[in-house]
Every structure is written in structure tokens, then in C-alpha cells.
Structure 1
């Protein structure tokens, strides 16, 4: 049992480290238009997820789930919304990385757990503990400090946090296994991605029509791997480690991104940023401690 937990912890650390360093990868694609990167990410993620379904022998369950979705207009619309939410999240992330807003992406994924708490209260009628209420207030204060002091509303951060928050909420409601779910999501938006890529090719804006090299092809193909592999590792991790351990791990990725933004790409980290992030970090610390205590009481 302990060995399974250790394997799960290793997989989780690998997952979040990969997510943390992902800005380095998308910076390599800065010459490709953000929407085309999104299209490539969706297309190749769909290819790799179909292969994952085949190699993990989940084709039968995948077929059953997708047939059920197409038979139910409600499930179909929910899945389409899920796919659009994660696509929006991916696009905003890519755009932010390639326009030197890595700190905003980091802030967004720090805010995300707090957003998930609020959505749980509103839509799932979950009750907040006193500590969780304090965590939400501190996170809100952190956002307001940045907005009022810098005069800049952290729109990118909030779009990332809320799109991923609603994505998680709908995924919870649909309750579809991770591999089959991600495969269906990417396949749902693949036709739009192919149309978008076709438009860029015919309008001579695609990397394909602008002296595409072997390296650029490898990078766009790997965008699918960069998307699919961490999500598959995350699905494995979630089954192997405790909720409290998973809760702490989720802060690894935005912390790495924050450090990359400041020390590698020289993004400005002002006193206002420090106060804002400190309030959110404090809220997350309180939230994590409360989660651990609640988990141990069960």
C-alpha cells in the first residue's frame, strides 16, 4: 500500500512540475499565432488520447459513453460546454505566455482552488468551514489589491481560474472517467480546430505556409503530448494519493511558473504583486490546513 502511495506521489510531483515548466515549451512556439497553437494542441491531443484509449483497452467503455452522450441532448450540450471551457482555458494560457503575462497565469492557478470552493457552495450546496470563508476573503482581497493599486484588473488570471473552475464543476456533474472524458472533449472541438487550421493555411498565416521546419512540426505535434501526458498522470495520481497530498501538490505548478516569469523572463514583480500574492498564499495555506484536518476527521 505504501509503495502505491509513493508511486502516486512521484507521479503527482512529475505532473505538477511538467505543468509548472509548460511556459518554457509554449515560448518556443512564439512565432506561431496563439489560435493556431490552440488548434494544433487540440488536434494532436485528440490523436494521442485516441491512442491512449486503444492502448489502455478502454475502447468499449469509450464507445458506450459517447453513444450515451449523443442520445441525450443535455449530456451533449454539457460535453460541448466542457470542451469549450477547457479550450478557452488553453487559449488564454497560450496567449498570456506568448505576450509575457506568465505572472497572470500563475495568479490564475493560485486563485483556481478558491474559485472551486465558491462554485461548490453555489452549485453543489456545499458548506464552507470558517477557515474556508477566511481563505475566500483573503483571495478576494489579494485580487482587489492588485486591481486598485496597479489599476489593472487581472482579467487573464480570472478567466483562467473561472474557466478551469467551471470545467471541474461540469466534469464532476458528468462523472466520466478521465481518459474517456478527455478523449471525448478533444474530439468534440477537433472539427473546429481543423477548420481554424485550414483557414490559417489558405490565408497564408499558418506556420505550414511560412517555411515550416522539422523542428516547428515536432513542436506543434508535441503540444498534444504536453497536453495529454500530464492529464493522464494526474488521473493516475488522483487514485493513488490522499486528498490532502493532492491539495498541496496543486501549488507546485503556479509557483514554478511564477519563478520562471520573474527570474527567466524578467516580468515585473512589484510590491503590489508581493502583497497580492501574499494574501492569496495565506488564504491557500489556511484552506489547505482546513482540508487536511477535515480529511483526517473522516
Structure 2
């Protein structure tokens, strides 16, 4: 990220961010929450809970919209409130099915929702923001890697060149969508941002059920179906509202 920042000559923008206590505080919050999010996601995947991680990212749009309402004062229309209520019912159904709250899913949803809120509130360029977040977390990550190596739990260099290449490549694959997300978070409303975020969990869910063969009892299917219903209502309502706004804009232009 530092190389990218230098090559694009964005160092002045980063220095401006560092002079703002509000922006740096929000970006520290963003760095901590995205670290919590990815750490939880990695734990969930390695614990054979890919379906539950997908649930977290299905719930996340609802959490993002809720944060937009509670923190930013964004207003929801009637059908959007209906979708939120259905989403909370779905979490209740899944809690009963699991026999416990879906902790991994909830941590993923709320941590990424908070991350998006912090990024939007900071209103910093995607490259500057991600560079700052990486710089905040990097020392802690380095200490953790050293601790793993000394305790005999490290695997970075012990599994061959292909293993190292995959781990390094995963960093690049992670950085690109975060850059795109950072750019979008400052340009669109929290409601719109929430609606766009259920594409990834669809792929995760399909992967968990098909390729990885995770068990899906009837109660879990009901819970997921309710989440999908909530998202479908959100999407349909948002599209209808967008078309209505375009029509009004066209009428105003014609007048």
C-alpha cells in the first residue's frame, strides 16, 4: 500500500488525514473492526462453518442499514422497515435452530457494518484510508507472527513455496475489494451500501452447501429463507424507489 501511495503521489493527502484527530480516530476504529471481521471469518472457515460465515454477510446489509438509521439519521421507507423486522425474525429462528446465538455470523455482520460506518464518516480516499489501516495493524500482526513462530505454530515458511505464494496472494485479493469498498463507502448512502453487500455471501453459502457439504437442517433453511426474503424486499423496494426518483427528475428537467 505504501508503494501504491507513493506511485500515485498521494502522500500529501495522507499527511492531511494525519493532521485530523477525528479522521485518524475513525480510521483506527475501521482498522480494528476489519481486523476483527477477517479474523472471525478465517476462524469460521477453518472451523467448517462456512455457511454460518455466509449468514453473517447476509445479515450485514440489514445491520448496515440499521446503523445508517440509528447513527447517520437516514430515513427508511415502510417496506425497508418490514425487511428489517423479517431479518431480525430470521436471526431468532436461526438462534433456535443452532441452540445458541449465531455468534460468528453476528460478529461478522456488526464488525463489517461498523467498518463501513467508520469509513463513510471519515470520508477519506480509499488508498489513503487502507494505507493508514494497514499501518495501524501491521505492527500487531508482526508481533503475532513472531509469537506463532516461536511457539512452533507458524506455517508461513514451513509448507513450501506454493503455500507462501497463496498466503501472499490472499493479501492482494483482500486488498482490492477493500479499496473498492473504501471508495464506495464515501460516495453512496449506507442504505445503498447495505443492499450491494449480499452478493458475496450468496457465493459463500453455495460453496458451503455444495462443495464443502455442510449440514443444513430444516430450521436453518427457514432462517436463511427469511433472510433472503428480507433482502428481496429491500432490493425490490430500492429499485422501485430509484425508478420513481428518475421519473421525478425527468419531469423536473422537462419543466
**TM-score range with shorter-chain normalisation?**
0.7 to 0.9
In structure 2, distance between residues paired with 1:91 and 1:205: 16
Equivalences, count: 244
Say yes or no: does 1:192 pair with 2:140. Answer: yes
In structure 1, distance between residues paired with 2:126 and 2:105: 25
What secondary structure sits across from 2:204 in the alignment?
helix
Q: Which residue of 2 aligns with 1:292?
A: 239
Residues 1-298 of structure 1 mapped to structure 2, 5 A cutoff:
49-55=1-7, 57=8, 59-60=9-10, 63-208=11-156, 211-232=158-179, 250-298=197-245
> Relative to structure 2, which stretch is displaced further, 85-94 or 71-80?
71-80
In structure 2, distance between residues paired with 1:267 and 1:155: 18
In structure 1, distance between residues paired with 2:194 and 2:137: 30
Structure 1 residues 246 and 105, CA gap change in structure 2 (3 angstroms) = same
The unaligned stretches of length 5 or more in structure 1 are: 1-48
> Relative to structure 2, which stretch is displaced further, 227-236 or 73-82?
227-236
Structural RMSD (CA) = 2.6
Q: Which has the higher contact order (CA 8 A, sep 6+)?
A: 1
Maintained 8 Å contact 1:121/1:127: yes
Displacement after TM superposition at 1:161 (Å): 0.6
Structure 1 residues 181 and 235, CA gap change in structure 2 (3 angstroms) = closer
Displacement after TM superposition at 1:240 (Å): 11
Structure 1 residues 159 and 245, CA gap change in structure 2 (3 angstroms) = closer
Structure 1 residues 75 and 244, CA gap change in structure 2 (3 angstroms) = closer
Structure 1 residues 276 and 92, CA gap change in structure 2 (3 angstroms) = same
What secondary structure sits across from 1:207 in the alignment?
coil
In structure 1, distance between residues paired with 2:218 and 2:126: 40
TM-score, scaled relative to structure 2: 0.86
Deviations 1:28-58 (A, max 9, x none): xxxxxxxxxxxxxxxxxxxxx2333344x1x
TM-score, scaled relative to structure 1: 0.74
Displacement after TM superposition at 1:168 (Å): 0.6
Structure 1 residues 124 and 235, CA gap change in structure 2 (3 angstroms) = closer
In structure 2, distance between residues paired with 1:52 and 1:297: 41
In structure 2, distance between residues paired with 1:229 and 1:79: 18
Deviations 1:99-147 (A, max 9, x none): 0010111111111111011111110111111001100000000010011
Maintained 8 Å contact 2:60/2:197: no
> Relative to structure 2, which stretch is displaced further, 177-186 or 245-254?
245-254
In structure 2, distance between residues paired with 1:116 and 1:244: 7
The unaligned stretches of length 5 or more in structure 2 are: 246-255
In structure 1, distance between residues paired with 2:32 and 2:85: 29
